[in-house]
Amino acid sequence: MVVQQEEQTLEKLGNRFKAPRSGPISGLISLMSNSKIIARCRRTITSFFPFLKLRSDVKNVVYLNWMVEAEKVRHLVPKGLELWEHNGLTPFTILTYRHGSFGPSFLGPFRRLFLSPLQSNWRLYLKSPPPQVPQVSTVLFLKNSMNSHFYALGTRVFSDVLATHLPRKFIHQKKEEGFDTQILPGKGSAPELKCHTRYSNGKHMGVAFSEAFESWNTAIEFLAFQDAAISYTDRDSVFAFSEIELPIDLSTVQPLEVQSEGFRCPMLEGFSANEEPFCFVIPKVRFLATSEQLITLDEGKSSKMQ
């Protein structure tokens, strides 16, 4: 009897695009976002050119971090890669922020013509990156959402590392006492999140984080100072690897705490998170995407694709 192995594609994480509303325009966006033909043509064309570096003046980066049971999320990790773990637990992070003129770096001051969408990225942390790529701290992208049709479609069509979803409603609002964040999928494929955070007077961590990291600053450095990401693509066992620069000033990081009343995150419910999240906000940081490439994984070995 032949056992059919599960395909290692973005559909493993439920990342096939579905628009939040019905209608002809939404249908066209879904068709283009999920088109393998468009993706294949784009890869062929861009293979002749250097990577177009993208820059953004990001602000109000709110991190929500939980230590979850590694066994509950291990099946999400590509074969050949390992989760970072401590005592059987691994961090799961939701970070949400406002871009600032997210566009090509070479445009300089003309980049201000580009929009400043909201983005939410959900991720796990890897023990080490795939072989034959730069050996830097690397995360696994699980979910990515933006509140702009232009950027949601653009990242789907012109990139492999961001399988972006488009929520029906996306709020990330700074208030006097903290932040109000809501991601409502509507009829679409975006993950759901309702969260209210407020500024905290102390730099506290739960037991699980305190056991895994020596100090508050050490935890921040690990969670925020990530240099690369890997994500599933529409091709079986072919993955996207992207490097970024994120020069964060630790002295500006501020502690937050989640208000449990009204909190909702269906995806988290299956991860067995037993403590309140470890939360903080980075007021501003300059983001730069420096590279993207396709790789294959085979029994722990990787190779770059031309």
Task: State what percent of residues in the chain have pLDDT above 70.
Answer: 95
pLDDT in tens, 174-218: 999 999 999 999 999 999 999 999 999 989 899 999 999 999 999
Q: What is the DSSP string of 1-49?
A: -PPPPPP-SGGGGT-S---SS-SHHHHHHHHHHT-HHHHHHHHHHHTTS
> Residue-wise over 113-145: b if at least 16 C-beta within 10 A, else e?
ebebbbbbbbbbbbeebbeebeeeebbbbbbbb
Classify domain 13-304 by CATH architecture.
Beta Barrel (2.40)
C-beta pairs of 265-268 under 8 Å, 24+ apart in sequence: 265/94, 265/191, 265/192, 265/193, 265/194, 265/195, 266/191, 266/192, 267/122, 267/142, 267/143, 267/191, 267/192, 268/66, 268/68, 268/92
Query: Would you say the pTM of this structure is higher than 0.75?
Result: yes
* The pair of three-digit structure tokens given for residue 17, joined into one six-digit string: 């695009």
pLDDT in tens, 98-131: 999 999 999 999 999 999 999 999 999 999 998 8
Task: Tell me the pLDDT band of 132, cut-offs 50, 70 and 90.
Answer: confident
Q: What is the DSSP string of 131-159?
A: TTS----EEEEEEEEES-HHHHHHHHHH-
